[in-house]
Each structure stands twice: as C-alpha cells, then as structure tokens.
Amino acid sequence: MSERRPVLLSIVGWITVLSGVLQMIGGIVLLIANDDVVRETAFTADEVTGFGIGALIVGFIYLLVGRGMLNLNGFALGLGVFVSVLGIIGNLVYLLGEDGGHGSFIVSLVLNVIVLVACLSGFSARNRHA
C-alpha cells in the first residue's frame, strides 16, 4: 500500500483494535460468569447475557474498525466517524442533562473527538493519494 497513514490514525487504530479485543474478552467473561454477576449485582440473568452478547458484538465491530483504520479502509473510516459522532452526541446529551456530569463521560467525549479527528485525517490521507 503506497498510502501513508497519519500517526494519529495509527495510534487510534491500534487502540481501537485493543479495545475491541478487551471488549470481546469482557463479553465472554460476562457469559461465562453469568451466575456470579447475577448474584453480585441487581441484574437478571437475561440482562447479563444481553450485556455479554452486546459486548461481543461491539468488540468485534471495534476490532474490524481498528483494522480498517490501519488499512485506510474507507468503510471502516466512515463507520468510525459515524460511531464517534453518535458517541459525542450521547456524551453531550448525558453531560448536559445531568448536574455537572461525570468524569468518565468527559473522558469518553474527548476520546470520541480524537477518534473523529483521526478518521477524518485518514480520509484526508486517502484523498491525497487518490
């Protein structure tokens, strides 16, 4: 591939791959330790199973998007833009709706903005070599 990948996109791509793998591991743990999670939380077995399956699906999407970012794949970059914009909107809605917000949502907002900028830089790199 003769296209040069921006450094920020490389960093975000690898972090996204790692995040996807960790999310999938978390989903597997939820499915395996379902009874323990139910016993230690207020969630039902069906809810924990749903969380586990959801984590597997989201983790797999993150894994694919991260790989696509590293390969400057247009679909993956577009999906990264879409998901990060949804994340930004969700974080802002939560932060503006709550009294002062929470630190984790602020961190998530910043990370979503970084992913958005990285994906847009990937599109720019693709267009320079098109």
User: Is residue 78 included in any domain, yes or no?
Assistant: yes
pLDDT tens by residue, 75-112 = 999 998 998 999 899 888 877 876 655 777 788 888 88
User: Is residue 1 included in any domain, yes or no?
Assistant: no
pLDDT value of residue 98:
62
Total domains in the chain come to 1
Residues of the chain with pLDDT under 50: 1-2
What is the residue range of 87's domain? 7-128
User: Is residue 45 included in any domain, yes or no?
Assistant: yes
pLDDT value of residue 70:
92
Burial of 126 (0-12, 13-18, 19+ CB in 10 A): middle
Sequence length of the chain is 130
Say if pTM beats, i.e. exceeds, 0.95. no
pLDDT value of residue 2:
46
User: Is residue 36 included in any domain, yes or no?
Assistant: yes
User: Is residue 2 included in any domain, yes or no?
Assistant: no
